[in-house]
Amino acid sequence: MSFAPEPARPADAADTTAVLLCNLGTPDAPTPSAVRRFLAEFLGDPRVVEIPRPIWWLILHGVILRVRPRQSAARYASIWTAEGSPLTTWTDVLAKRLAGNLGERGHRVLVRYGMRYGNPSIPSVLDELKAAGATRVLVLPLYPQYAASTTASVVDAVLGWSRRIRAVPEFRFINRFHDDTGYIGALARRIADHWDAEGRPEKLVMSFHGIPKRSITLGDPYHGECLRTAHLLAERLGISANDYVVTFQSRLGRAEWLQPYTEPTLANLARQGVRRVDVVCPGFTSDNLETLEEINQEAREAFLHAGGTTFGYIPCLNDRTDWVRALTALAERHLQGWDTRPAPAPETPLQRLPRAADRDTRA
């Protein structure tokens, strides 16, 4: 492997710190061609689909990428806004607000965001940060609960980038914040605000993104961290185990995934006589296809069709002030030990003139 030439960094140059927020990603447009490119990258990641590569390559390119892009493009189109993908919009706003908060608290840091799949890619943003002089990077995946298919995949992308870099920056990774007090508090306030405006449901459904059950047997801690988040959130809200249910969504393929599945659970609740539910997605910090389309459209329809009467979707944290404050505190804790204070301003010619007392001493 050859490394690209880089300008030598002066030995006395000040270190520059950066924070890189990472999210899953989204197609560039709600079109079949853009979705095909996105799915090829996403589903081609061995962290996402743990099937022997030759077999999966035939399935992915021979079946999935021929059929699914057109279907998925229609789903993306149903949530697309004038600004583009909601996931990109919210992640961009969050990065800017985090930068502002850290700056107000006296930190001199660069804050950028990158997507694991799609644009802006994590490697391209790391190129940008390195060109800006970043020598230390705090990598903050926006996945509260750790999963190999999400958090570890971000680590793969960062380390993959570093393999072609000669002078590699110092890295720190935040692997999880599923039990972070600020994150739990922001979630609880988000739900409480919804209840203050709309009233309380008969049942609160906490829907997390699913992963194959096999991943748990192989050692993935994701399931336990989801349950821990749910328990802490219920405790903070002051509700009992009978008031909420934990479910898992977004199943892919025929293998068994974490259960209970979200949509069938909602339909069963309606058939059991539950007329009003609220659904919140604590595993997502920004609204996206899985929350706005899969939950607020498809799951809503399943519940109402089965006999439910009122379906409340509680949006993600997005750029709520309490969430930005919690994220700022989380970043600060992991920045400890790195000097992020602004560099002192250079002296002006007037400041370099000897003071009267200095002249008298020399005399």
List the one residue out of 280, 249, 250, 271 whose CA is nearest residue 262: 249
List the beta strands (DSSP E) in 124-242: 136-141, 170-173, 203-209
* CB atoms inside a 10 Å sphere around CB 8: 9
| Main-chain dihedrals φ then ψ at residue 316, nearest 5 degrees | -70, 175
List the one residue out of 126, 120, 124, 148 whose CA is nearest residue 139: 126
Is residue 223 a known part of a binding site?
Answer: no
Distance between start and end Cα atoms, the chain = 65
What is the C-alpha to C-alpha distance for residues 64 and 70, in angstroms, rounded to an integer?
10
Is residue 290 a known part of a binding site?
Answer: yes
* CA atoms 268, 270, 274, 280: torsion sign: positive
Q: 20 by DSSP, 3-state: which?
A: strand
Q: The tokens of 164 are what?
A: 């072609």
What is the C-alpha to C-alpha distance for residues 17 and 133, in angstroms, rounded to an integer?
9
| Main-chain dihedrals φ then ψ at residue 280, nearest 5 degrees | -125, 150
Q: Are 138 and 46 in contact (CB under 8 A)?
A: no
Q: The tokens of 197 are what?
A: 């405006």
> Taking the C-alpha atoms of 147, 148, 149 and 151 in order, what is their torsion angle to the nearest 10 degrees?
70
Looking from the CA of 258 toward its CB, the CA atoms found within 13 Å total 23
| Main-chain dihedrals φ then ψ at residue 217, nearest 5 degrees | -65, -25
How is 81-92 classified by DSSP, letter by letter? BTTB-HHHHHHH
What is the C-alpha to C-alpha distance for residues 56 and 50, in angstroms, rounded to an integer?
9
Q: Which residues are annotated as a binding site for Fe(2+)?
A: 209, 290
Q: Which residues are annotated as a binding site?
A: 209, 290
